[in-house]
Amino acid sequence: MYNDMSYASGNEKKTRTDEGTDDLAALIASLDESISLTNRVLYAWDNLDLPQTASYFADMALASSQDVGKKNYYLYRDSDGNGEWAITRGMWT
């Protein structure tokens, strides 16, 4: 991701490059602040790996990471498994 997750275009896919970014666009649209908080929370419970996401942000805080928050991160969707999204600084293996 090279942006603040406000749009899907322009991001470089590292895997499943033959597929489009419709799934990323759906994630971004479903978490838009113009949508009610209740609906965003319900979407997050169903579509984000929340334990991993919480751990990521806790680790970043503990490490006092001062990097720019809207670049240099990867989003990963377990498309063949549970369909949930996760966030990381490094490539998934």
Of 27 and 66, more confident: 27
Per-residue pLDDT tens for 8-20? 777 777 888 888 8
Cα separation, 61 vs 63, in Å, equals: 5
pLDDT of residue 40: 95
Cα separation, 74 vs 89, in Å, equals: 6
pLDDT over threshold 50, residue 59: yes
Give the Å distances, CA to CA, from 34 to 7, 14, 29, 37, 62: 14, 30, 9, 9, 31
Secondary structure (DSSP) of 51-90 = HHHHHHHHHHHHTT--S-TTSS-EEEE-TTTT--EEEESS
pLDDT of residue 58: 86
pTM of the full predicted structure? 0.73
